[in-house]
C-alpha cells in the first residue's frame, strides 16, 4: 500500500507521545537549559591539562608530542626556561584552539605522562569567532580531583598506573650505601710482670732462701716502656683522615648544560655545535632534547644506549620524529653499527 511506511512511522511516534504521559522512560527529551542531563562517563569533548598539586605544576613536561600528533594542528606549546635560560620541564605557553579541535583524542593517546585528557564541557558558544575559543594554559588547567569527578573509572586506572610506575622507579633507584663503622682497635696486650727468683748459687741457708723467695714473689717489677716508633700526634696536629679519590667528572658534552640540549634549536644547528665530537655526543645532539622519556630513556640515556649497542631501534624519539631517526641511522652506520 502506498504510504504504509509513513503511517507506520507516525503510529510509533504517536504511541511514544501518548505513552510519555504514563511512562517516564518514554520521555526522551528534557527542558533544556532549565534541566540538564549529566553526560555519560565515556562522553568527550575538548582537551584539558591535569595537575596534581597546583595549576603552576602541570603533569605536562612540554615534550610537544601532542602538538606534533594533532591532526588539525590546533595545539601550540612553548617550553619554559629558568633564569639561566635552561629548559624547565613545564610549558610556558600551552594554547588549544577549540574552534579547530575535532575532539579526536589523539593528543590524549600520544601523551606519555597522562597530562592531557578529554573534558565533558559542551556549553562553549562565544561571540568572538577568532579568539573566543583560543584557550591558554590557565584556562586548560584542571585538577586531578576534577578529572575524577567526570571520569572516575578512567581516572582511578590512570592514578594506579602512575603509582605503579613511581614505585617501580623508587625500587630500581640505587640505594645509598650505609656508613660502615670503623672496627674498634683491639686493646694492647699487657705484658706479664717478670718473676723474680733467688739464684741457685746465692750464699743463703735453706731458711733464708725460703724467706727471701716469699718476699720476692710479692714484689712488683715495672718494665720500662718502649719508645714508640713515632710520637703521638696531638688533637691540634692530628693528620687529616684520608679522603676517597673524587669520582671522574662527567663529560660536560653529555649533560643538560650541553649547548645542543635545547629543543628550540633545529637539528642542523645542534649537529653543527656537536661537530667533531664522539659518537655518543653526536647521537645526543640528534635527539629531540625534550627528555620526554617516551622512548623509555631521557635524551642522553637513549644516545648512550644506541652507542653501546644496547638499543637497536633508531626511531624511538617521538619529538624528533623522522628527522631524528634518519640522522641517528646515518650516524650509527657511519660508525659501523648496523641498525
What is the distance between the alpha carbons of residues 143 and 136, in angstroms, rounded to a whole number? Answer: 16
Ordered strands of the 116-118 beta sheet: 116-118, 47-51, 141-143
Q: What is the chain's length?
A: 339
% of the chain surpassing 90 pLDDT: 38
- Provide the pLDDT for residue 120: 94
What is the distance between the alpha carbons of residues 234 and 245, in angstroms, rounded to a whole number? Answer: 26
Top pLDDT among 162 and 220 is at 162
The answer to whether 273 and 245 are in contact (CB under 8 A) is no
- Domain range for residue 134? 47-169
Residue 131 lies in a domain: yes
Mean pLDDT of 34-43: 90
Q: Report how many domains make up the chain.
A: 2
Q: How far apart are the first and last CA of the chain?
A: 72
- Provide the pLDDT for residue 242: 44
Residue 154 lies in a domain: yes
- Provide the pLDDT for residue 282: 93
- Provide the pLDDT for residue 85: 79
Mean pLDDT of 215-240: 53
Residue that is last in its domain, among 115, 149, 169 = 169
The answer to whether 64 and 80 are in contact (CB under 8 A) is no
Residue 123: partners with Cβ closer than 8 Å, 6 or more residues away: none
Mean pLDDT of 39-63: 92
Where helices occur in the chain by DSSP H, the ranges are: 4-19, 65-69, 106-110, 137-140, 144-150, 152-172, 206-217, 267-273, 279-286, 299-308, 321-334
Task: Lowest mean pLDDT of 32-46, 123-137, 224-238, name the range.
Answer: 224-238
Residue 304 lies in a domain: yes
Inter-CA distances, 75 with 93, 146, 192, 260, Å? 10, 22, 90, 25
- Provide the pLDDT for residue 150: 95
Instruction: Name all contacts of 202-207 with Cβ < 8 Å and 24+ positions apart.
Output: none
Task: Lowest mean pLDDT of 34-38, 171-175, 261-265, 327-331, name the range.
Answer: 171-175
Mean pLDDT of 104-117: 94
What pTM, to 2 d.p., does this model score? 0.60
Residue that is last in its domain, among 169, 202, 224 = 169
- Provide the pLDDT for residue 8: 93
Confidence of residue 224 (pLDDT cuts 50, 70, 90): low
| pLDDT > 90? residue 99 | yes
- Provide the pLDDT for residue 245: 39
Instruction: Name all contacts of 123-127 with Cβ < 8 Å and 24+ positions apart.
Output: 124/46, 124/98
Residue 187 lies in a domain: no
Confidence of residue 92 (pLDDT cuts 50, 70, 90): very high
| pLDDT > 60? residue 81 | yes
% of the chain surpassing 70 pLDDT: 80
Residue 198 lies in a domain: no
Residue that is last in its domain, among 151, 169, 187 = 169
Residue 120 lies in a domain: yes
- Provide the pLDDT for residue 91: 92
- Provide the pLDDT for residue 114: 94
- Provide the pLDDT for residue 228: 52
Q: Which of 51-55, 120-124, 134-138 has the highest mean pLDDT?
A: 134-138
Residue 14 lies in a domain: no
pLDDT digits (tens, 9 = 90+) for 170-218: 876 555 555 555 555 555 555 555 566 767 666 667 777 777 777 777 6
Top pLDDT among 201 and 53 is at 53
- Provide the pLDDT for residue 173: 57
Instruction: Name all contacts of 129-132 with Cβ < 8 Å and 24+ positions apart.
Output: 129/99, 132/99
Confidence of residue 142 (pLDDT cuts 50, 70, 90): very high
| Mean pLDDT (the chain, rounded) | 82
On whether both 165 and 267 belong to a single domain, the answer is no
- Kindly tell me the burial class for residue 299, based on how many C-beta atoms sit within 10 Å of its own C-beta (0-12, 13-18, 19 or more): buried
What is the distance between the alpha carbons of residues 40 and 122, in angstroms, rounded to a whole number? Answer: 13
Confidence of residue 134 (pLDDT cuts 50, 70, 90): very high
SS3 at position 49 = strand
The answer to whether 334 and 326 are in contact (CB under 8 A) is no
The answer to whether 32 and 39 are in contact (CB under 8 A) is no
The H or E element containing residue 93 is strand 87-97
Residue 326 lies in a domain: yes
Indicate which CATH number applies to the domain containing 76.
3.30.70.3270
Amino acid at each position: 500500500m502506498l504510504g504504509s511506511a509513513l503511517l507506520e512511522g507516525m503510529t510509533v511516534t504517536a504511541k511514544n507521545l501518548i505513552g510519555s504521559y504514563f511512562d517516564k522512560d518514554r520521555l526522551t527529551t528534557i527542558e533544556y537549559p532549565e534541566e540538564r542531563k549529566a553526560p555519560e562517563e565515556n562522553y568527550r569533548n575538548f582537551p584539558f591539562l591535569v595537575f596534581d598539586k597546583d595549576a603552576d605544576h602541570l603533569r605536562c613536561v612540554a615534550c610537544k608530542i601532542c602538538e606534533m600528533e594533532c591532526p588539525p594542528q590546533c595545539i601550540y606549546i612553548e617550553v619554559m626556561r629558568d633564569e639561566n635560560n635552561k629548559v624547565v620541564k613545564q610549558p610556558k605557553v600551552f594554547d588549544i584552539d577549540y574552534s579547530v579541535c575535532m575532539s579526536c583524542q589523539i593528543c590524549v593517546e600520544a601523551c606519555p605522562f597522562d597530562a592531557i585528557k578529554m573534558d565533558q564541557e559542551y556549553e562553549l558558544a562565544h561571540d568572538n569567532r577568532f579568539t573566543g575559543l583560543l584557550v591558554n594554559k590557565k584556562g586548560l588547567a584542571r585538577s586531578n580531583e576534577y578529572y575524577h569527578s567526570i571520569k572516575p573509572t578512567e581516572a582511578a586506572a590512570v592514578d594506579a598506573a602512575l603509582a605503579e610506575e613511581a614505585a617501580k622507579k623508587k625500587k630500581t633507584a640505587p640505594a645509598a650505601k650505609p656508613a660502615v663503622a670503623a672496627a674498634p682497635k683491639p686493646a694492647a696486650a699487657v705484658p706479664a710482670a717478670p718473676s723474680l727468683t733467688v739464684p741457685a748459687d746465692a750464699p743463703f741457708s735453706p731458711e733464708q732462701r725460703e724467706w727471701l723467695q716469699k718476699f720476692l714473689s710479692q714484689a712488683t717489677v715495672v718494665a720500662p716502656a718502649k719508645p714508640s716508633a713515632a710520637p703521638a700526634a696531638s688533637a691540634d696536629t692530628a693528620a687529616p683522615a684520608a679522603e676517597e679519590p673524587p669520582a671522574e667528572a662527567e663529560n660536560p658534552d653529555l649533560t643538560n648544560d650541553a649547548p645542543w640540549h635545547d629543543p628550540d634549536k633545529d637539528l642542523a644547528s645542534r649537529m653543527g655545535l656537536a661537530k667533531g665530537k664522539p659518537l655518543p655526543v653526536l647521537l645526543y645532539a640528534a635527539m629531540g632534547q625534550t627528555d620526554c622519556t617516551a622512548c623509555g630513556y631521557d635524551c642522553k640515556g637513549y644516545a648512550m644506549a644506541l652507542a653501546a649497542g644496547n638499543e637497536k631501534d633508531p626511531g624511538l624519539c617521538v619529538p624528533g620524529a623522522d628527522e631524528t631517526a634518519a640522522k641517528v641511522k646515518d650516524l650509527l652506520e657511519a660508525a659501523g653499527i648496523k641498525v
